[in-house]
Amino acid sequence: MSTTPQNGSNSMPRWDFTAIETQIDNQKKEAEGIIGEIPSLLEEGESLVASGASADDEDLIWLEGFLRHADLLTGLLDQLFSHAYCTYSIETGNSQRVKALNMLEAMTVPLRSYFSRSRKILQDILKGRNLPADDKGVKGLVSAAPSGGLIPDLEYFIQREVNEAAYQMSPELEELASDLQRSAGDAWGRLQGSLSSEMSAEWNSVTHERKTLVELRNLAYDPRRWVRKKAYALELMLWEQNKQTFAAAINGVKGNSLTVYERRGYEDFLQPSILSNRISRKTLDALIGAMEKGLPRFRRYLKAKAAYLGIPKLGFYDIFAPIGDHSRRYSYDEARDHIIDLFNGFSADLGNFARTAFDRNWIDAEPRAGKVGGAYMTDFPLSEEARIMANFDGSFSALSTLAHELGHGYHSHKLEGYRYLNRGYPMTLAETASTFCETIVYNAAIDGAAKEERPALIEGLLMENTQVIVDILSRFYFERELFTRRKEGEVSSDELCEIMIDAQKKTYGDSLDAEELHPYMWAVKGHYYSVDLAFYNYPYAFGQLFAMGLYAQFRKDPEGFPARYEQVLKNTGLMSAVDVCAASGFDIESESFWTEGLEMLEPFVRQFEEDAPGLSGSGE
């Protein structure tokens, strides 16, 4: 299942699962066995706490056993899902791959209700020992447990479970909510996904050529303005024709979420996101405040981009228009060697990891029929290996994407040897290593670029950051207002468009033509239609700015920084995001921390502005 590229060739590898697949069937049987044992284990725990078993430490013996099952099951399921999704994503037309993925999903359906019961038992254990349900109570529980077991190792996991139990309905209601979500909130999400994937419009009235919605949106990157504008107009027409359906779907999802949030006793609709991302409300306020203060810098960049394109002001369809010339192409082997060299310039450890990933065919790089688009990294914790899917086309963007995904792999590599339950990290920290590695590549490219290549590279960096800061802030504003209004009743499609336009005006300001914004961005973004992904986007801004702040520290201390950086990655599953950063000397509850990260972009914006007058064109 692999091909190995030769030096100087353009051949690209495919994944090698030979060693992993020898164990998959046994691992699946082992996971099924553990899941089958959990109900009796839970009944035992419930009986113990009901009889007051803390006096003989039977509760701790039970907890130790349950955690051992949960930890191993976590590793097994991560391994099985990684293999199932990887093999599906390179053969999407293979019905057996789809079936294997569906069977795994069905096998794990009961786990949500099982873990709601285990959290209730944990609460009762603390009550039985007269311990508070906070960090001091959990520390008391840990101090009573035998050393060398799982309980001391999993202290932070236990604390998270206790915290989640505080916002949990009875196990019976949690099970009901889980069952209903599949036929309610999740069904609305599936409707949005299936309908948007089927929509298309006539592109050429003579040939009757049609373009799908995805194809129309991809034309936002076309160098010809008339093409971008036409695609934008047709896209808006499609959303307009189906707006009532999408409005019903988004109201259904948010109504589902609000009902469950109220039943669980959350303070407001932001609290679930704050807790799952392991940050404080003060952190979120500081991040949003810094993003707001950084908006003028991005507006300067967008105005300079209009000058490059030779137009008075950008329309929404101009945001991704290409600038300048960076047409250099890389063979896969050139990209491989370049990335390894740059990573070695940071640390030998990072460089060695990248070399291992390339040498052992952990990367499936070849674009081909039946393979999903884009790129991702997934971890195989039992094998202590990673797999990266890419669609390498020789562009600089494809090279930087490889570096990004290798960063994800390196993050997982730094967590090897930890308990499986200690390897999970929140979305706020999930993009740290990937963005950091991408930043290494981008800065090296800009520093070494010829004069004619530099504007395109700088613009690529600024365009990406504009999406992560400006556009994500507009999405945050929109979702916050949507939740607020949905509490009072359903929100019409026209209101949804008004909220989105208002959010875009607040963030993009006068850098975009107010008559050419995107009122249907609420219908575009699939994460709005997921019950489990409310306020999905701001963690990307967190990750981007955090990685940029780390890179600034590296520039100041290239010798001493790599060791601190490794420790940051190792701590991501063991502490809250606030504590991870504090342990490395960063105060993410302070707005100044985030503004310092944004300051890194100022030289690039200034350079882009200085170069703009000499590179104007019609953009037609």
Tens of pLDDT, residue by residue over 122-167, are: 999 999 889 998 888 999 999 999 888 899 999 999 999 999 999 9
Short-list 238, 284, 229, 276, CA closest to 257:
276
pLDDT at 613 (0 to 100): 59
Distance CA 145, CA 129 (A): 12
Short-list 450, 464, 347, CA closest to 404:
464
Q: What separation in angstroms does the CA of 13 have from each of 89, 123, 352, 367, 397?
A: 15, 50, 19, 10, 19
Distance CA 555, CA 547 (A): 12
Distance CA 512, CA 504 (A): 9
Which tokens in the block code for residue 190?
């599936």
Distance CA 282, CA 298 (A): 24
Which tokens in the block code for residue 344?
């070695």
Distance CA 547, CA 541 (A): 10
Distance CA 500, CA 504 (A): 6
Q: Are 113 and 171 in contact (CB under 8 A)?
A: yes
- Mean pLDDT estimate for the chain: 91
Which tokens in the block code for residue 184?
């309610």
Q: Are 540 and 472 in contact (CB under 8 A)?
A: yes
| Ramachandran sector of residue 224 (left: φ over 0; alpha: ψ -120 to 50; beta: rest) | beta
Residues contacting 516, CB < 8 A, separation 6+: 232, 315, 316, 317
Q: What separation in angstroms does the CA of 355 have from each of 337, 401, 566?
A: 9, 16, 18
Q: Tell me the residue type at 56.
A: D
Q: First vs last Cα of the chain: how many Å apart?
A: 45
Q: Are 82 and 378 in contact (CB under 8 A)?
A: yes
Kindly give the parts of the chain with pLDDT less than 70.
Answer: 1-10, 53-55, 325-326, 613-620
Our CA angle for 245, 247, 251, nearest 5°, is 120
Residues contacting 24, CB < 8 A, separation 6+: 79, 80, 83
pLDDT at 261 (0 to 100): 95
Q: Tell me the residue type at 48.
A: L
Q: Are 359 and 67 in contact (CB under 8 A)?
A: no
Distance CA 302, CA 452 (A): 20
Distance CA 344, CA 445 (A): 15
This model's pTM is above 0.75: yes
Q: Are 355 and 373 in contact (CB under 8 A)?
A: no
